[in-house]
Amino acid sequence: MPPSPQFALNFSGQDVLEQEKAAERLLEAASSNEHALRARLYATLAAARVFTAPDRANAAAAEAMRDAGEAGDEVSRAWALLAASLVDLSCEKTPDRLAMTREALSIAQATGESGFAQTAYFLYLGALAELGETAELDQALSPANPLFSSFPEFAEGRHVAWFRCLRATIDGHVDLAEQLAGHAHALAQESGDPDAQSAWMGQLAIIRWMQGRVVELEPAFLHARQAAPHEPVWAASLAWVWLRQGRRSAARALIASLPPVEDLPVDRNWLATLCLLAVVTAELRELDTAARLREALLRFEGRLVTIGLGITCWGTVSRPLALIAEAFGERQAAIAHYRNAIEMSARIGAHPWLAEAQSELAALLSQQPGDEEQREAADLASEAAATVRALRLHGIESVAGAVLSAITEPKRPRPASMPAPRPGAAVKPRITVLGDFEVRTADDTPARWQSRKARQLLKILIARRGMSIGRRNLMHMLWPEGSVQQVANRFSVAATTVRRAFDPTGALPRDTYLETQNGLVRLCVERLDIDVERFLTGAEAALASGASPDTKASQLLEALAMYTGETFTDEIEEPWAEELRREVHITFFAAAHTLAELSESLGDQLARVEAYRRILAMDEYDQRAHEGLIDALTRLRSHGQAAAARSVYTQRMAELELPVST
Predicted local confidence at residue 4, as pLDDT:
53
Residue 567 clears pLDDT 80, i.e. is over it: yes
> Does residue 603 come out as left (phi exceeding 0), alpha (psi in the -120 to 50 range) or beta?
left
Mean predicted lDDT score pLDDT of the chain: 87
Neighbour-count burial for 504-532, b at 16+ CB within 10 Å, e otherwise: eeeebeeebbbebeeebbbbbbebbebbb
8 A C-beta contact, residue 454 and residue 499: no
Mean pLDDT over residues 201-207, rounded?
Answer: 88
Predicted local confidence at residue 398, as pLDDT:
67
Predicted local confidence at residue 593, as pLDDT:
92
Identify the DSSP state of 463.
H
Predicted local confidence at residue 196, as pLDDT:
87
Predicted local confidence at residue 482, as pLDDT:
78
Residue 481 CB: number of other CB atoms within 10 A? 7
Percent of the chain with pLDDT over 90: 54
Q: How confident is the model at residue 562 (pLDDT cuts 50, 70, 90)?
A: very high
pLDDT in tens, 480-520: 887 777 888 999 999 999 998 998 888 888 889 999 887 88
8 A C-beta contact, residue 128 and residue 275: no
d(CA 492, CA 471): 10
Predicted local confidence at residue 5, as pLDDT:
52
Beta bridge partners of 434: 567
Residue 409 clears pLDDT 80, i.e. is over it: no
Helix and strand numbers, DSSP H then E, in the chain: 30, 8
- Taking the C-alpha atoms of 555, 561, 562 and 567 in order, what is their torsion angle to the nearest 10 degrees? 130
Q: How confident is the model at residue 278 (pLDDT cuts 50, 70, 90)?
A: very high
Identify the CA nearest to 172 among candidates 19, 12, 313. 313
pLDDT in tens, 293-345: 999 999 999 899 998 888 899 899 999 999 999 999 999 999 999 999 999 99
d(CA 500, CA 638): 55
Mean pLDDT over residues 391-397, rounded?
Answer: 76
Predicted local confidence at residue 424, as pLDDT:
41
**3-class SS at 312?**
strand
Predicted local confidence at residue 414, as pLDDT:
41
Residue 1 clears pLDDT 70, i.e. is over it: no
d(CA 647, CA 660): 11
Q: H-type helices in 172-302, by residue range?
A: 174-190, 196-211, 218-227, 232-244, 248-256, 270-284, 287-297
8 A C-beta contact, residue 352 and residue 337: no
Residue 420 clears pLDDT 60, i.e. is over it: no
Residue 228 clears pLDDT 80, i.e. is over it: no
d(CA 554, CA 101): 66
Q: Which has more pLDDT, 197 or 642?
A: 642
Residue 611 clears pLDDT 90, i.e. is over it: yes
Mean pLDDT over residues 185-208, rounded?
Answer: 88
**Among 5-19, 170-184, 253-267, 550-564, where is mean pLDDT lowest?**
5-19
